[in-house]
Amino acid sequence: MSEELQALSAADAAAAIAKGDLGRGELFEHYRARAASDELNAFTWVAESMPDSVDGPLGGVPIAVKDLFCTEGIPSQAGSKILAGYCPPYTATAVANLEAAGAPILGKTNQDEFAMGSSNENSAYGPVQNPWDRSRVPGGSSGGSAAAVAAGLAPWALGTDTGGSIRQPAALCGIVGLKPTYGAVSRYGMIAFASSLDSAGPLTRNVTDAALFYRHLVGRDSADATSVSFPEPIALPTSERLDGITLAVPAALVDGDGIEAGVRDSFEAALESARGLGATVVSCEIPSAPYALSAYYVIAPAEASSNLARFDGVRYGLRVDATNLDAMYTETRHDGFGDEVKRRILIGTYALSSGYYDAYYGRAQRVRTVVASELSAIFQTADFIVTPTSPTVAFGLGERTADPLAMYLSDLFTIPMSLAGTPAISIPSGLSDGLPVGLQICGPAFSENRILGAAHALERAIGFDGSSAWSAL
């Protein structure tokens, strides 16, 4: 019976529970046992038993939640020593919405500290291993969520994406990851990294599960002034063809150096599949793309330096006692923050400092405006922009930790969409040397239904099978 439960998608499990063919407690205990025996370090906390949950359209299918979300009475540590053991007095809106739809919390997932990383090696609670090859990274920063879903430790998971932190680990772990339109999902209760970029979204086994999950995330929240009402209901995708759809490929970006041959081959095969479904594939240019990465790594650290100022040892989290207040601030942050977080705080503080604001932060924001304008222009003649999600497959643990620039280049394809605030999805497009490759599909703001439809059609045509990542666990 456990193999049958494991083979069920989240949507199928919800349907089976609704029909009375499967008990909610039975499903929860199946996943609780798997999560509790986690060998990948994907979880930082696992529920001891099924929490009280309401009846709802998600049917009692449990969720894994990235540890960047506040969850009342449950450790919410953001992958950082400075928040070790912190249990908030309230629950993030995104999590509360899923609970209200009938999805109980299975556990909290490991992540790069404060979501700063592309490999999940920056966590104070140790690195997460990729279920396809345990010597490799799962991607980041939502690496724990991606690994848990790919390994069958959870049916689906909630993650966050600031510069690619849902899409890149989804690609490296061979699952589906959706970054929403900025503002479509409330950020209230999500521990802030870069407030103008942070988004919450699903990591799932397939596109249908992503749509079902996302349906209960979107919506205006009075507690988040940047949230907006989604203009239409999120539909479960049924598309099997791409007739009349135009896909734009940024030629200079895709043909550039640093893209592994196997990734390029998988991408080209995915484009052929799209053509076979009736899509037209055209070339496009994003002239500002070479500058997007640099702009992001000014804007995001600048906002982080402001957001992380609240972690001072006074109100919550770690406090290192010292002889005076300034020394307490210094020692607490010295001991509580990891190297990557310190690096980004220093970069961001410098970029915002007197005499440098216009030269760095102001100029980066202008680049951001240009990127958004160029993407908008492409969407006047094409339905979607498509790229590989990551320029490489999962790299080895420790391979890039001493080279921050090489690590940052992992987000080459995902950052332009983050700067523009547009939605994008990553779906598996195949394997390269036995490791998953991701395909990214990006559309204009609030085009999630259309993106999910196109992704569903391509998913069916590609026929990726990720079961080998969880069948041995």
For residue 97, what is the DSSP state? H
**Structural contact between residues 446 and 434, judged by C-beta atoms closer than 8 angstroms:** no
Select which of 80, 165, 266, 447 is catalytic.
165
Which residue's structure tokens are 């957001």? 307
Residue type, 450: R
Please state the φ and ψ torsions of residue 43, each to the nearest 5 degrees.
-110, 145
Active site residue 165: yes
- Three-state DSSP class for residue 438: strand
- Three-state DSSP class for residue 396: strand
Select which of 66, 80, 123, 199 is catalytic.
66
Active site residue 66: yes
**In whole angstroms, what is the distance from residue 192 CA to residue 256 CA?**
33
Token couple for 124: 């104070």
**Structural contact between residues 245 and 278, judged by C-beta atoms closer than 8 angstroms:** yes
**Structural contact between residues 331 and 351, judged by C-beta atoms closer than 8 angstroms:** no
**In whole angstroms, what is the distance from residue 453 CA to residue 129 CA?**
31
**In whole angstroms, what is the distance from residue 253 CA to residue 236 CA?**
32
**Structural contact between residues 43 and 125, judged by C-beta atoms closer than 8 angstroms:** no
**Structural contact between residues 332 and 313, judged by C-beta atoms closer than 8 angstroms:** yes
**Rounded to 10 degrees, what is the CA torsion of 300, 306, 311, 313?**
150
**In whole angstroms, what is the distance from residue 168 CA to residue 191 CA?**
20
**In whole angstroms, what is the distance from residue 222 CA to residue 199 CA?**
17
**Structural contact between residues 110 and 143, judged by C-beta atoms closer than 8 angstroms:** yes
Select which of 53, 80, 123, 141 is catalytic.
141
Side-chain-side CA neighbours of residue 321 (13 Å): 0
Q: In sequence order, which residues have a C-beta less than 8 Å from that of residue 150 and are 6 or more positions away?
A: 130, 131, 132, 138, 173, 174, 175, 466, 469, 470
Active site residue 283: no
Other CB atoms within a 10 A radius of the CB of residue 371 amount to 25
Which amino acids are annotated catalytic? 66, 141, 165
